[in-house]
Amino acid sequence: MPLSDITARQAKYTGKPQKLSDEKGLFLLVNQSGKYWWLKYRYGGKEKTLALLGVYPEVSLKEARVKRDEARRQIAEGVDPGLVKKQSKIANKLASENNFEALAREWYQSQLALWSPGHATRVIESLEVDAFPDLGLVPATELTAPMILEALRKVGIRGATETAGRILQRVSAIMRYAIQTGRASYTRTKT
């Protein structure tokens, strides 16, 4: 019999973990730290479990079933949903490591030998003050011209137009560096 939302809501931890089964491999694991949606499935002749479905009640029974159906669709297409989840985590980690600030700091280190100490200090301080607050956490692959323009407008509004020009030069150099190191790509859009 399928699990009901009332049963899931009323389930309590009773000293040992318990599984409340739904259907098609979906179950709610109730343990000391909370209630978690899991999926039990077979892939490549092996039984596996997948914890990608979320925490109850943030992920409702209905949402968990949708996620279960998506995972089962992947299995039917010959794709292991556990492997897809691992690849997604790796991609997200790489994206966070390749955010604009991380790339800018790497670019800065690569340029230090070419600059005087005073110039190097001005470059990093200008990026920390005028670029990193708006662009720092954005992955290099998702950085767009309008985002850069908005950051530059903020610099221009305070009357520092020359600084805005320098920031643009530095952002351009950092993005060229990202392209050269394979962490961003250049795409030209047709208008």
Strand order in the sheet with 18-21: 18-21, 26-31, 34-43, 46-56
Q: Which tokens go with 70?
A: 């998506």
The pTM (predicted TM-score) of the whole model is: 0.56
Look up tokens 């077979």; give the residue. Answer: 42
For residue 182, CA distances in Å to 82, 153, 186 come to: 27, 29, 10
pLDDT digit string (tens) for the chain, length 191 residues: 788 988 988 989 988 999 999 999 999 999 998 999 999 999 988 999 998 678 998 999 999 999 999 999 999 999 999 888 888 887 777 666 788 999 999 999 999 999 999 999 999 999 999 999 999 999 888 889 999 999 999 999 999 999 999 999 999 999 999 989 888 877 655 54
